[in-house]
Structure 1
Amino acid sequence: MSNYNLETFIKAFSVLGEHLRNPDDELQQLIASEQYHNAWFTPASVNAAVAAIAETLNSYDLTKWTSQYIIDQNKSAKKVGLILAGNIPLVGFHDILCVLITGNHALIKASSQDARLIKYILHKLVTIEPAFTDSYSFVERLQGFDAVIATGSNNTSRYFEYYFGKVPNIIRKNRNSVALLTGNETAEQLFNLGHDIFDYYGLGCRNVSKLLVPKDYDFTFFFESIEAHNDIANHNKFHNNYDYNKSIYLVNRDKHLDNGFLLVKEDERFASPLAVLYFEYYDDLAAAEEKLNLQTESIQCVVTAAPLNIPNQVVGFGQSQQPGLADYADGVDTMAFLSSL
């Protein structure tokens, strides 16, 4: 790590954060055009992703975060292969940040769905701090790596474990997020829950796809409170999913609730189809907590105002898509992993 200096790197990422908070014409044009490469990456979604990252890239938060780790500045840089997901804009940025700020080299296998934004941001980082010039490479195939961080599905994880099992690795599988309601939520809390459900069209692992609700829960107030999110129905691909799932439920006579843009169905599973929200009743909070603990490997985070003792991250309403620097995917500390290489 001959050119490694943590203070310099923190300053560079802080300047990058300022740039993302105040995008220039080039970035604004890129944000506007992403929808033509990936229909899910609307300007609103990309702006939300850029803003969420920018919020974390400041000197105070970066210093506080990195100070928790012992980073050997004299150790030679390791080549860390990154297989990035592409389900929501810039979803792989945090892994890249972790690799670069620990002084390692990122071998980036970007998703075809989300390569342009990441390439732009890294190019901007190099213009801010030239020391990053040789800190990353975009590759079509991983080779010559010392460690791997791979994000995929339950199916691809088996291949990842086969190919990368002999080197230090973090291999992520499918996860979904859950909201636990008590029936005492305010209209504002439920409106904010709408963001947890609908932001990025529900495509992220931090999106709520399942509700746990008390026995005899009345969904009327829930539907009234999320009505303001109804413009999501104007997105063609989302609406197609809504229509498709609705037709299946009607043909099969599956019992469900429908507010015109969201289908709500009782189901024990955690991963619901797009435009569908599963729910399950619980008898008391202890029973709900027990269910969450039994399913911890399938859960990314839990949205609730109730006090819970679970290993998964618990966040307030509207906060699931606002992870901090230390809110690691699957609860696996990426920085500790990289610092130990």
Structure 2
Amino acid sequence: MNTTNPRIVLGTMGFGTQVDSATAFAILDSFVAGGGDWLDTANCYSFWADPSGVGGASERVIGAWLAARPGARDAVRIATKVRQNPLVPHSWPDSAEGLSARAVHAGMEESLERLGVDHVDMLWAHAEDRTVPLEETVGAFGELVAKGVALRVGAANHPAWRVERARSLAREQGAEPWTALQLRHSLAQPRPLTPLAEGGHRLLTAEDLDLARAEGLEVWAYSSLLWGAYTRQDKPFPETYDHPGTTRVLTVLDEVAGEVSATKNQVVLAWLLHQGVAPIVGVSRVEQAEEALAARDVRLDDHHLARFEAAR
């Protein structure tokens, strides 16, 4: 796995919908001031919360912030995604754009326009699209890198075998391969082999980690703090997390947080960073961004890590 200096990534899914522009600007300012640099968005964010029924709000807010902050583009790296944006308002997944070459190129062009930039630093395939030959998708992503509008490309919510197949196809085509994985991962885990309630989510697996280690791929984790469940009584863990392992992990988490004088969220983020995983943290307030960035200074020793491993 590529463990070179994994970063805290700012998740911006709610910007422009659940998080108003003024608050989003303040969060972005604070994140950059605190040394954060990666922003994660998607062209579909957040169609389910937008009266328009389509995505684009998050990218537009980021674009407006960049336009209002001279020099900000040089201070941040932007990751966005194509695949899930509805082409017909309020019609998802039936009208989701997919991963045809035409959809990938159109999605990228529209994202660049909303962001007001000439390139993104990472473009993700947001989910699989098995209605399209993988060769076509791989070629389209490679073309965007060749054009310079995406510096790197990665796969979100794809199984390891499909990622490796895509990388092999990229080599055959002489195209830029996917070099990063984005999957759901956190300290607490749901019951094994239990379907997730959240549609489209795919958990990080041992096979994914094997691939990442063998191929030197970066790994990013979304839902890293499980929507606040570690710290908020009003945000309970999903039902699939109701098992003895969660109880054990939370007991150790309480103990370790006290021992290292950190919040429980910071310990979870520090644990992910120690695994070589870049956690994506969605926030709605400035203080949440500050708390997340402070996790970089939390030091977990071998004893702490062993206790977590035994509990899980």
- What TM-score range do you get, normalising by the shorter chain? 0.3 to 0.5
TM-score w.r.t. length of structure 1: 0.32
The structure with more radius of gyration: 1
Q: Which has the higher contact order (CA 8 A, sep 6+)?
A: 2
Q: Which has the higher strand share?
A: 1
